[in-house]
Chain A
């Protein structure tokens, strides 16, 4: 995929007014119509999982620093991490900060890390809710969505710095986690296809960082732990992942100390819709004028 091909679709999106260049690579504003697509996708996702009996929880786009540490995210994707820093100095340091800004120098050096970081995945705040004793028989299910951040600046409009993710999460025993992922591979495929999208389900190949990441990537591939729903956005040859089903095995169970009903280390799995990427796939598939989209697709999004 070349930069021009990314750029062509990016330019179309910006020229149409659906997406607004927010002034940093990979950062965008959204129009009223774009947000109609987003709320349509999120409504459809909620309806698709309505019989899950999931507890719906909402969290802000920042999470405690300790939570990021506990998820092992820094081991897998240190390069995508976003950390919040703020000014905690005195008047003298304030003067120094302003002098650095005026001189066009690096002023970040006078900041200090806050107790929060940006949330890289919607489901991370859910796991601490499952600690403090064995889970009920049948495990627990959550619906969670919201803004996430991954620092991978790019001209590719599908690689946004800040984007929405909508998830259905299961935490419980290994059989339940496998069942959750099987059910959601089928439901996810049906859901995306009902929107007229061409979908392939493929084994994921996440960009784990560095040499340590080679071990994690090889393991993810060998055990097909994560499957992705891919659909064309900027390219038909290399379609983009617009959703995924991820079996974490006992990763979160072990790092958070979550016990399944029988006292064993809990397993978990999640279905995640990349909401913004799904919106882009729909715009690519049906065109930039949403009023001209097929009636069946509109009926699914805005019943």
Chain B
């Protein structure tokens, strides 16, 4: 697992208040369907900004930005650049 994905999953485990283990969810799994609330997604957003040292632009401050590991990864990649391989 690449470093960015690992960090995203770690943040989701700490801040997502998921009733299931994040390890049991694949990258495309809908986190809201898995039980993440919109308030928890705000904690995830703040932790992502803190960890990766950036700010989401206003246009991305919506629920769908945080709906899956893949979606979060795509948002991060577009904002902080592609992860080093």
Contacts and interface: CB of A to CB of B under 8 A. Distances in A.
Contacts of B42: 75, 212, 215-216
Given A75-B42, A215-B42, A222-B63, A251 B37 contact: yes
A58 interface: no
A151 to B, nearest CB: 21
A35 interface: no
B62 A215 contact: yes
Interface in A212-264: 212, 214-216, 218-219, 222, 249-251, 254-255
B68 interface: no
Given A211-B55, A211-B56, A212-B46, A218 B62 contact: yes
B83 interface: no
A249 B39 CA distance: 12
A214 B37 contact: no
Contact of A254 (B17, B43, B55, B58): B17
Nearest to B36: A254
Contact of A255 (B19, B39, B62): B39
Contacts of B45: 212, 215
A215 B38 contact: yes
A72 B56 contact: no
A41 interface: no
B38 A254 contact: no
A218 B63 contact: yes
A211 B63 CA distance: 13
A214 B58 contact: yes
Contacts of B55: 211
Interface of B: 17, 19, 35, 37-39, 41-43, 45-46, 55-56, 58, 61-63, 65-66
Interface of A: 72, 75-76, 211-212, 214-216, 218-219, 222, 249-251, 254-255, 265
27 contacts: A72-B39, A75-B39, A75-B42, A211-B56, A212-B45, A212-B46, A214-B58, A214-B61, A214-B62, A215-B38, A215-B41, A215-B45, A215-B63, A215-B65, A216-B39, A216-B42, A218-B63, A219-B62, A219-B63, A222-B62, A250-B35, A250-B37, A251-B37, A251-B38, A251-B39, A255-B39, A265-B19
The 7 closest A-B pairs by CB, nearest first: A214-B61, A218-B62, A212-B42, A72-B39, A219-B38, A219-B63, A215-B61
Given A75-B39, A75-B42, A251-B37, 15 more contacts: A76-B39, A211-B56, A211-B58, A212-B42, A214-B61, A214-B62, A215-B38, A215-B41, A215-B62, A216-B38, A219-B63, A222-B62, A251-B38, A255-B37, A255-B39
